[in-house]
Structures are given as structure tokens and as C-alpha cells.
Structure 1
Amino acid sequence: MTDKKSNAVMKQVLELGPVLLFLAGYIYLREETLTIGGRDYDGFIVITGLFVPLLIASNAALWKLTGKVSRIQIMTLVMVVVFGGLTVWLNDERFFKMKSTIVFGIFAALLGIGLARGQSWLEFVLDGAIPLTHAGWMALTKRLTLFLVGMSVANEIIWRSFSTDVYVAWDTFGQMAAMFAFFISQSGLMNRHWEEEGDDKTDA
């Protein structure tokens, strides 16, 4: 029992630790300009460069601890590596800032393709973790698709219209809070479509 609790705590540390360290590093370096290899980099780009290997290491440790990494975590890691790498290589913070726009957009597009085929790819992504009926998965997927489109638009507005400080707050806490609020708001739908003994309830 103690081992399970320890593993649960370690899992939380590995999932949230990189984000919190990114925030702390940004706060510490945001006013700094560092010269590396004869090239000047501002604090945001330096901490982005450090965040990429940190996230890779945390996902590797998470996989070793639990034996698996979710599809969403793998997708996020790939996008961070690609756009974080471009940010450092081209010395342009815009690439990292547009990362969430593209991630949310890709997920919305994929879910939309699944819906057009009469399928809920959200159920596949979540490995069927929630015991919902087919109608429930379809309704939740439709709502999440619209929500992700909104999140993609919101990210574009925020990084283009506000300061880097505002963007970092949005990227580290705002997006997480918005996702949490969305799923909490869907509790009524989930209750109506909770699958018990094969029953399928219709969406209201």
C-alpha cells in the first residue's frame, strides 16, 4: 500500500514537475540575456531549451515507473521537442508559443474525423478509462472538439496580443485549469451516459 502511494506521488511529481520548473526558470531568467556559442538568447528561449530534455527525462522516468505513457503525453512530448527545438535553433520564441495552437488544432481535427466516421476517437485516446455508452462518448467528443477549437483560438489571441509573462501563466496554469473546468462541467452528461449492465441512455 505504501509503495502504491509512493508511486502515485512520484507520478504526480514527474507529470507536474517539469511544468513548475519551467515556470520557476522563466521567472528567474525572464529579464536575462545569455550569450551561448557567440549568440544571444533571451531567458524564455534558454529555459525552453532546458525544458525539452527535462520533459523527455520525466516521460522516460514515468514510463519506467508505471510501464506506460498515455497517447496524449506522447503527442505533447513530440510537439514540445519539435517546436522547442525550432525555438532554440532559430532563436525565435514564436515557435514554442504557437505549439499549443497546433496541438489543440490537431486533436480537434482528429476528433472531428472520427465523428464524421461515426466513431469516438476520444475513447481510443483515453483507453476507455471512463465507462460511457457509445452515445455518451459521441456527445462528449463533440463537445470536446468544439472546446479544443476554442482553446486553439484562445492560444493564438493570447500569445499574439499579450506579454510573454501572460503567455507563460496561460501555458502553465491557464490551459490546465480550463481543461479541468471543461471536464467538471461535463459531469451531468457523464452521469446520464454512465454505462451500467450494458444500458445505453440517450443524450438530452
Structure 2
Amino acid sequence: MAETTAHATKINPFVRLLLEAGPLAVFFFANARYGIFPATAAFMVATVAALGTNWALERRLPVMPMVSGFFVLVFGGLTLILQDELFIKMKPTIVNTLFGVILFGGLMTGRSLLKPLFGAAFQLDETGWRALTFRWAGFFLVLAVVNEVVWRNFTTDTWAAFKVFGIMPLTIAFTLAQMPLILRHQLPEKSE
């Protein structure tokens, strides 16, 4: 019974945003002040702290932040051990490509893999879940390409700033742009 209650606990949307964007903000400010290697270490610590806080509040770890956190630790560790910023710069490309490929793979096997992730937030018909999954899969692949373009053609400081002031606003705008689809395919609430 207590297990069910713990899983039902919802984090305030502002706190959720802070937990998801906070490590990026730490990375940006640490990079601006101390450089890429100390920023990478700070990013790793902030990511672990955010995941720990999420666990303490909800008694679960959301899949996408958990996967991203794993890659932050692996690629951040490689960046620090090998003293090569290439690894931390490639991390967003690899994570976003992974998410996009997994979502497209699910669609190819007849499954909308966003449904288990967001099914508690809203209820959609199967057409809506497929469309939303397709759009997010494409968006993740676009983010991977954009990351490649930015890190290969601009300075490290520009890339770090773009992660915070480019990717986050793009993701928020994309999320908001999905609202008409969600509203169009939302199932009526069940009466108790």
C-alpha cells in the first residue's frame, strides 16, 4: 500500500524543471567561469544530485533523465580521464540519437513507446500516441544533428551556451507545439 502511495507522488512542475534544467545551468555557468573540464565535473555532480533528489521525492527515477544521467557519467568520466572535451560534446548526439532510434524502432514493431512514459500524464487514443511518438522520435534526431553542427563549427563556449539557451527553449517550444495533437486525440475522462 505504501509502495503505491510513493509511486503516486507527483513532483511540482517547477521542481521537475529545476531538476532537469539545473544540471545544464550548472554546466553552463561552470564552463563560463572555470572551463570545460571543471564544468564537466560539476555537471556530473549536479546530475547525480538531481537524480538523487528525484528519487527522494518520488521513489522512482524517470527513464529519460536516468538514461541521460548514465551517459553524462560515462562521457563526462571519459572527458575527465582522457582530458578530451570531444566526449562530453558527443554525449547529446548519442543520447538524442538513441532516444530517436528507440522510439522509431518501437513504432516499427507496432508500439508507441511514449505511452508508458507519459500515459499517467494524459490519455490518448492509439493514433495520437503513434503520431506523438513519431514527432518526438524525429525531434530527437533533429537535436542530434543540431548538436553535431554546433560543436563541430563553433567554440566550446558557444556550444555550452547553445545547450542551455538553444536546446532548452527549442524543446519547450516543441513540447508546446504538440498540444493541439494531444488535445485532438485525448480520450474522455472516465467517470468514477
Q: Does 1:19 align with 2:24?
A: yes
Residue number in structure 2 paired with 1:92: 84
Cα drift, residue 152 of structure 1: 0.8
> How far apart are the structure 1 equivalents of 2:171 and 2:89?
18
Sort the Cα spacing of 1:157 and 1:181 in 2 relative to 1 into closer, same or farther, 3 A: same
Counterpart contact for 2:30–2:42, Cα < 8 Å: no
Match of 1:176 in 2: 168
Larger deviation, residues 189-198 vs 55-64 = 189-198
Q: How many residues align?
A: 181
Greater RCO, CA 8 A, separation 6+: 2
What amino acid is aligned across from residue 178 of structure 2 in structure 1? Q
Deviation at 1:197, TM superposition (A): 5.5
Q: Quick one: which of 139, 152, 155 aligns to 1:160?
A: 152
Residue 58 of structure 1: how far off its partner (Å):
2.4
Q: CA RMSD in A?
A: 2.1
1:101 is matched with: 93
Amino acid at match of 1:75: V
Counterpart-to-counterpart distance in 2, 1:14 and 1:186: 22
1:59 aligns with 2:51: yes
State the secondary structure of the residue aligned to 2:152: helix
| Unpaired segments ≥5 residues, structure 1 | 30-42, 199-204
Please say if 1:147 is aligned against 2:139.
yes
Q: Give the gaps of 5 or more residues in structure 2.
A: 1-8
Q: Does 2:71 correspond to 1:79?
A: yes
Structure of greater Rg:
1
**1:19 alignment partner AA:** L
Report the Cα distance in structure 1 between the residues aligned to 2:126 and 2:14, rounded to whole angstroms.
33
Structure with the larger helix share: 2
SS in 1 for 2:92: helix
Q: 2-side partners of 1:9 and 1:123: how far apart? A: 23
Deviations 1:163-197 (A, max 9, x none): 11211112123111111111211222111101115
**Counterpart AA for 2:22:** G
TM-score (norm 2): 0.86
- List per-residue Cα deviations over 1:75-95 (Å, max 9, x = no partner): 110010010001001100010
Paired-residue identity, %: 35
CA 1:143–1:7: 2 relative to 1, 3 Å: closer
